[in-house]
Amino acid sequence: MKIHICSTGLRFLWLIIIVIIIDLLIKQIILNTLNLYEQYNICRFFRIIYTQNFGIAFGFLASKNNLRRWFFLLVAISVSIILILILSTQDTKKPLINIAYSLIVGGAIGNISDRLTHGFVIDYFDFYIGDLHWPIFNTADVAICFGTTLIILDSFLSCKKE
């Protein structure tokens, strides 16, 4: 079976690569400039803080359990492979869904790289109001959440067309 990149959703591989590069570049800057839990205040409700996430998105199911680490890796790799296979069958006339899948894959690969390299995911964005904090996250998480939002939006738009 021959896959033509330009005629499928694989045309959006550039977006996957951009997400991975931005994510890993920012994480490397965090590692080079901050110690664990060291923070840099940006404004009254936002700071950059270096944390290590042993769980999944937003620290959910966090623990230093090695079995969990490999389970999360397996899930992320499986989802990435499935989405790349789906991209290889998608029509280029569906850019919203192709962008969504690409953002999710790019974010997943960024976090996979962390788990393989460090055994945890590097998180650093901290939004808060007083003592109320949103869970700390990273650029890969932003890409995954935005991609998921685009999938939901696409499903509503698809239903509306039908």
- List the catalytic residues: 123, 141
Q: Name the strand (E) or helix (H) holding 93.
A: none
Q: In terms of Cα–Cα distance, which of 82, 114, 83 is closest to 101?
A: 83
Task: Report d(CA 114, CA 25) in Å as an integer.
Answer: 12
Sheet containing 132-133, strands listed edge to edge, beginning at the edge strand earlier in sequence: 39-43, 46-53, 121-129, 132-133
How far from chain centre, in Å, is Cα 144? 4
Neighbours of 19 (CB within 10 A): 26
Task: Report d(CA 137, CA 154) in Å as an integer.
Answer: 25
Q: In terms of Cα–Cα distance, which of 150, 153, 124, 146 is closest to 25?
A: 124
As given in the structure block, the two tokens for residue 64 are 């230093």
